[in-house]
Amino acid sequence: MLQETVNTETAAIPHVVQTEKAPEEKVSAGNRAFTIILHTLLTIGALIMVSPFIWMLLTSLKDTSQAFSDPPTWIPNPFVWSNYPDSLSALPFNLAYFNSIYIALVVVACQLLTCSMAGYAFARIQFPGRNIIFVLFLATMMIPFQLTIIPIFITMRNLGWLDSHLALIVPPALFSAFGVFLMRQFVMGIPPELEEAAIVDGANRWTIYLRVILPLLRAPLSALGIFSFLGQWNSFFIPLIMLNSSEKFTVPLMLNQFRGQYATEWTMVMAGSVIAVLPVLIVYIIAQRHIIQGIAMTGLKS
């Protein structure tokens, strides 16, 4: 009887095991199907997002007749590589590149300094009206920029900075509500014990900021620097209002010069746009990890 009981239990074990694994296999199959569908949708979305860039790249290698052919063709036949040197020689792109690069770099450097200092002050330093001032900072993000361009223009005119790069550098370099918010939220997530230990060692506020806080802000500073660089590089509205001399134009304004009164050289525009987007693309590819890390680690504490 004992042997029969053991045999019966042993024979039942595989059935029990199979019964327990069946739901797991169904869940695993469901997860795989969901993953495949999700990746398929993301791939389709990525192709839709990148298709304008691909069309711009291919159009820059066509002649005018191919660019306006009906029905439109994707692949140029033949490839017109001369559009790139022609676009560079038609307008002073070298000077525009220099203007855009140095304006963007100066604004980025100033914003990283002022925003990190303001973010640290709002997060750690107790002073009267701190929360009210911070709310006012955030409230400026809800005001359309088109409403502030007139007082900014009048201020730049009174300072004598019209048709000068100072009008493009000083306002964004001194104030960035988004940058201050980004830095403040990240500093709020830094353990205050680090500052307390520095205070015990005799450090003042400047020492704490420079030697404790600033090294820990590498990720959000990288993200802010990239966003600021992209914003300044692509800026068109402010330079259009502030600048008049062609030798002071930035890349977006220089690209606009291809638009004539009666016709537009679209192949030249596309070739110049590809040349203009290369620095931005390189910066993003190199620093995309810092962008994701900086955004992901922001807002852990409020």
224 vs 128, 145, 147, 200, CA distance in Å? 28, 19, 24, 32
Tell me the Cα Rg of the chain.
29
CB contact at 8 A, 252 and 276: yes
Q: Say how far apart CA 78 and CA 94 lie, in whole Å.
A: 28
Query: Is residue 163 over pLDDT 50?
Result: yes
Query: Is residue 283 over pLDDT 90?
Result: no
The residues, ordered by sequence, that sit 6+ positions from 222 with a Cβ below 8 Å of its Cβ are: 287, 290, 291, 293, 294
pTM metric for this prediction: 0.74
Q: Say how far apart CA 65 and CA 33 lie, in whole Å.
A: 46
CB contact at 8 A, 111 and 229: no
What confidence tens digit (pLDDT) does each residue in 36-66 have?
Answer: 898 999 999 988 988 888 888 888 888 877 7
Two tokens, residue 234: 């692509």
What confidence tens digit (pLDDT) does each residue in 254-280 have?
Answer: 888 777 655 667 788 888 888 888 877
pLDDT mean over 195-220: 86
